[in-house]
Amino acid sequence: MRATRINHVSIAAADLEESTRFYEDVFSMERIPTPTFGSPVQWLRVGDMQLHLFQDDGPAPARHHIGITIDDFDAAYDAVKGMTSDTWGWQLVELPSRQVQLYFRDPSDNLIELNWPDADTLDRSKYPELRKIAEHFPQKADSKEAVLYLNAGE
């Protein structure tokens, strides 16, 4: 037996409706039918996968996060620019592979990572905070081989 792919990710939402609207409004995720569980839950379509939100007012883990591929970096950047909440806050990182990660927190303080496939396609003048990870952490010789997208064209 082997795993073939990830089907969904579940994250906590302090206010289920607020979090659901956030993912709908910012990322155009779609509410889909959701079974009734012992506590409030909402499932959302993300391409051919799902994000499950469950109501829980406990604190979000500091470093646990979900990575979301987006189709328009400029629009995503503008949509989430003012949404920061802690020391992770707002970070824009270029990996050695030239792929980009934008970190911020959602309304329930979950860490979100937006992924973009190629920093060379961005107008760097629009993103003054974009920093190469190598400026902060020494990289190994094979670090350029570490990629977010395992299949070409993702």
Residue 37 φ then ψ, to 5°: -115, -175
The residue with tokens 């409004």 is 25
Q: What is the third-level CATH fold of 1-58?
A: 2,3-Dihydroxybiphenyl 1,2-Dioxygenase; domain 1 (3.10.180)
- The pLDDT of residue 152 is 65
List the domain boundaries for the chain. 1-58, 60-154
Q: Which CATH architecture has domain 60-154?
A: Roll (3.10)
pLDDT in tens, the chain (154 residues): 998 999 999 999 999 999 999 999 999 999 999 999 999 999 999 999 999 999 999 999 989 999 999 999 999 999 888 666 555 568 899 999 999 999 999 999 999 999 999 999 999 999 999 999 999 999 999 998 999 988 865 5
Q: Does an H or E element contain 21, and which?
A: helix 16-27
State pTM to two decimals. Answer: 0.91
The residues pairing with 111 across neighbouring beta strands, listed in sequence order, are: 65, 105
Cα–Cα dist 133/120, whole Å: 15
